[in-house]
Amino acid sequence: MNISDAQLAAFVDGELPAEDRAAVAAAIAADPELARSLAAQRALRERLRQAFDPTLNEPVPQRLLDAVQGSPIVDFDVAKPRRRRTLLAATAWMAVAASLVLAVLVFPRLLQRVGREPDIVVAGSNRIAGGELARALSLRLASEPASGRVQLGLSFLAKSGEYCRTFAVAQNGGTAAGLACREQESWRIHVLEPVSRPAGELGGYRQAASVLSPLLLQAVETRIAGEPLDAAGEASARGSGWRRTSQAPK
């Protein structure tokens, strides 16, 4: 029996009529390629559930409860205060989150390793590189031998004018890969994702390009102006403090 992609998807989504299920299941059992596709589709479904299901257990923000109890008369003017309440609610929520994070994460970690600065600092809606990651992004060239927890990949000039670099950083026992761009005086992290391989295997400059995940590649591709910097270009960008000399004479 030939199984189409649509049938396979319907099987995963529980949309296949009962009379077809057994036939499709048998075809999958007989065909390793089909079994792999099935596993990939199931894994994706599972990852999405795991990413978003925790929302169900969060306390619902008061402003939404208020909205349900509120007056059913809504006109255009309500749109403006809604924004303001959003900010207030977000601030309050973040304060709660901050204290929770402090209690749950920071305190035990401080006990474990006093004085280590976080690699990633979440400031408002921005993620900024900190500590060892920030130093490596500012100071190290991709061509230099790897040392420490941070590996550098590609450096390039973005269409919007700033310098960006891809990196991998070992933390929490795993490795995260990402893309950071120089904005004002800091490295703003635009993409960050888990990597299954330990940082030690990521290797130097040559291998670095090949560890770019599709997600990271896509982010680089949408931003990059021209080609990635070569070693000389990178050194000169570092020399200028990762500021474009023509744009920011400082």
> Which positions from 129 through 168 interact with another protein, judged by CB under 8 A?
160
Give dist(CA 127, CA 164) in Å, integer. Answer: 14
Give dist(CA 137, CA 186) in Å, integer. Answer: 10
User: Exactly one of 2, 5, 114, 115 binds another protein (CB under 8 A); which one?
Assistant: 5
C-beta of 193 vs 227, nearer to another protein: 193
Q: Is position 171 an interface residue for another protein (rule: CB under 8 A)?
A: yes
The span of 8-16, 17-25, 149-157, 226-234 binding another protein (CB under 8 A) equals 8-16
Pick from 116, 106, 247: nearest CA to 170: 116
User: Exactly one of 2, 112, 184, 210 binds another protein (CB under 8 A); which one?
Assistant: 210
Write the interaction track for another protein spanning residues 72-111; mark x where CB under 8 A is met and - where it is not: xxx---x---xx--x--xx--xx--xx--xx--xx--x--
C-beta of 29 vs 100, nearer to another protein: 100
Cβ 161 vs Cβ 144: under 8 Å: no
Q: Is position 27 an interface residue for another protein (rule: CB under 8 A)?
A: no
Q: Is position 35 an interface residue for another protein (rule: CB under 8 A)?
A: no
Give dist(CA 131, CA 152) in Å, integer. Answer: 15
Q: In the complex, what is the shortest distance from the CB of residue 184 to another protein, in angstroms, rounded to a whole number?
A: 14
DSSP sequence for 78-126: GHHHHHHHHHHHHHHHHHHHHHHHIIIIIHHHHHHSTTPPPSEEEETTE
Q: In the complex, what is the shortest distance from the CB of residue 125 to another protein, in angstroms, rounded to a whole number?
A: 4
Q: Residue 46 is encoded by which pair of tokens?
A: 């599972």
Q: Is position 16 an interface residue for another protein (rule: CB under 8 A)?
A: no
**Phi/psi of residue 149, nearest 5 degrees:** -90, -10
